[in-house]
Copies of this chain bind each other. A is one copy, B any other.
Amino acid sequence: MKKLLLLGISFLISLSFGLKAQEKVERWNRVEFVWNTSFKGNGYQDVEFKAIFIHSDTTLIIPGFFDGNQTFKLRFMPTRLGTWKYTTISNVPGLSKKTGTLECVTPSAQNHGPVKTNGLHFSYSDGKNYYPLGTTAYAWNHMGEALQSLTLNSLKNSGFNKIRMCVFPKNYDLVKEEPEHFPFVLKENKRDDKGNMIPVWDYSQFNPKFFQQLETHIEALQKIGMEADLILFHPYDKGRWGFDAMPQEINNKYIKYLLARISSFRNVWWSMANEWDYVKSKTVDDWDELTATLIKSDPYRHLCSIHGSTATYYDYWKPAFTHVSVQDESPAQSPNAAAMLRNVYHKPVILDEVGYEGNLKSRWGRYSPETLTHLIWNGIMGGAYVTHGESYMFEDHRDTIFWAKGGRFKGESWKRVGFLRQILEDGAGPLSLSDVSRDNVTSSSGKGQYLVYFGKQIQEFWTFNLPINNGAFGKLTTGTRFKVDIIDTYGMTIQTLPEIFETGKENDYRFYDKGYKKIRLPEKPYLALRIREIR
């Protein structure tokens, strides 16, 4: 409980931008209320300000926030169609008891709402399937404006629909840029024992410019269909700014302030940390506490996970985490390995770092485009999702390394991710292995809907055959007729075969074509077959 320190008589101006009384708001769009007031005291810590939004039996408590310059804001994302009533509550009389209504209307075509989990997969809030095919640019948002625009343009012209990015700036090999803005107001610069300049922050004062810039980026990402998988903490600071080692009380305040500002953005996801176990200042109990703070601060329950170093698995079964977001190559080594994680956690799995396509000396940053594309396919076939990243070393100071700074894609796998996304979106639904732990190449997205992926195996012929088991979609039967497309996952071609295949009798857990028809394959690796029932 913060003590209210209002000195003198405050004077409040109430403004409501983007919304007039009874104005219509699209479902899952954002409404912003703005009030200006002059008062003495610290708006970040001395003012309590929230609103209660009510829609029939739904009640949401939405925190407001101080945006500097005597301005208080409150942002709301209506989650249900129809009339919402609101009342504000504050320890500042002029911010209190503001009431009104707003009418939530059907969203426009490009607005599908926040992404939610849907069994072992994901969908938008309107039910449309969402297949996370993300990339990584940890600190693109802390580069100059020109580079930020370039990055947004690259993303717009890619097939990605998610980006992992850090709220705090990054101080790491290959990315040491000083950001334009910082989350707190600078108190002073000190010199440490070695003569290095160390900033001392006034933790009682956030810097709205820092957060406004982040909001601009989230908004820009939303416009191009990208989810912002925001990393709240990371270890890449190394004593430079100290954001990895703030007092726990400040960590909690930061989360509350950040979420008051941005949880109304429908395309945000929360990643508590990147490589949480490398943040040496925090224990597992600390992370659990911060995660609890986050969930309490999020009226919308956006997706939430946490990411560790290689093969370091947090206890993802804790109810706080909506999905698994793990750094590990092992689950991407085969579809069955990826499927294991789903079977273990009973939650959707994203392999948010299996290494990056690039040419670094570090082994995490030197996969061939073929290898990264292959790992992404392995994950997808196993019913999990694999995040892309690209780490081609910059050639000069005008050049960038996408993994850290964004910029232009230089690799090849990013294009294949777009190709894969199209295949998924043309399919009947998300994939799961048809015959888990027994058949490592066949996955299905529905009754009569298969993908077979051969990975690195090269073969001249393939005899048409499918397993009798088809996951949750029942069993295959005799006399089912199929068309087959040969997909070159790396060459990005799809060739539809003229023949029709028809299942004969069951033969040792599998069905072959009744005439044992075979398919001639190009003698290449990374081929897949799309097999679809003719109805």
Q: Contact residues of A with B, CB < 8 Å?
A: 310-313, 315, 317, 328-331, 333-334, 336-337, 339-341, 343-346, 361, 363, 436-438, 440, 508-509
Contact = CB atoms under 8 A, between A and B. Distances in A.
Nearest to A436: B311
Contact of A310 (B330, B341, B363, B437): B437
Q: State the majority secondary structure of interface residues on A.
A: loop
A344 B343 contact: no
Q: Which of A312, A344, A345, A440 counts the most B-chain CB atoms under 10 A from its CB?
A: A344
Contact of A339 (B311, B315, B361, B509): B311
List 3 tightest A-B contacts by C-beta distance, closest first: A330-B336, A330-B437, A311-B437
A477 to B, nearest CB: 20
A219 to B, nearest CB: 37
Nearest to A329: B437
Given A333-B334, A340-B341, 6 more contacts: A311-B339, A311-B436, A313-B343, A330-B436, A333-B337, A344-B344
A378 to B, nearest CB: 12
Contact of A363 (B313, B344, B509): B509
A102 B412 CA distance: 75
Contacts of A344: 313, 341, 344-345
Q: Which of A330, A337, A436 counts the most B-chain CB atoms under 10 A from its CB?
A: A330
5 contacts: A311-B437, A317-B317, A328-B437, A337-B337, A363-B508
Contact of A315 (B312, B317, B341, B508): B317
Contact of A330 (B339, B346, B508, B509): B339
A93 B346 CA distance: 53
B311 A340 contact: yes
A329 B363 contact: no
A343 to B, nearest CB: 5
Instruction: State the number of copies, please.
Output: 2
A426 to B, nearest CB: 28
Contacts of A315: 317
A340 B363 contact: no
Nearest to A327: B437
Contacts of A328: 340, 343, 437
A337 B339 CA distance: 11
Contacts of A310: 436-438
A508 B361 CA distance: 8
A296 to B, nearest CB: 24
Contacts of A361: 508
Contacts of A346: 313
A321 to B, nearest CB: 13
A329 to B, nearest CB: 5
A119 B361 CA distance: 34
Contacts of A313: 343-344, 346
A425 B361 CA distance: 39
Nearest to A363: B509
A509 B345 CA distance: 32
A345 B328 CA distance: 15
Contacts of A509: 363
Q: Which of A437, A440, A508 counts the most B-chain CB atoms under 10 A from its CB?
A: A437
A471 to B, nearest CB: 11
Contacts of A340: 311, 328, 330-331, 337, 340-341
A259 to B, nearest CB: 28
Nearest to A308: B343
A443 to B, nearest CB: 14
A436 B438 CA distance: 25
Contacts of A341: 340, 344
A336 B336 contact: no
A219 B363 CA distance: 53
A311 B433 CA distance: 12
Contacts of A437: 310-311, 328-330
A334 B329 CA distance: 13
Contacts of A339: 311, 330
A439 to B, nearest CB: 11
Nearest to A334: B333
Nearest to A318: B317
A222 B44 CA distance: 69
Contacts of A336: 329-330, 333, 337
A228 B346 CA distance: 31
A359 to B, nearest CB: 14
A440 B311 CA distance: 13
A313 B438 CA distance: 16
Nearest to A317: B317
A436 B361 CA distance: 19
Contact of A438 (B317, B337, B363, B440): B363
A312 B343 contact: yes
A508 B366 CA distance: 12
Contacts of A508: 361, 363
Contact of A337 (B317, B334, B343, B436): B334
A347 to B, nearest CB: 12
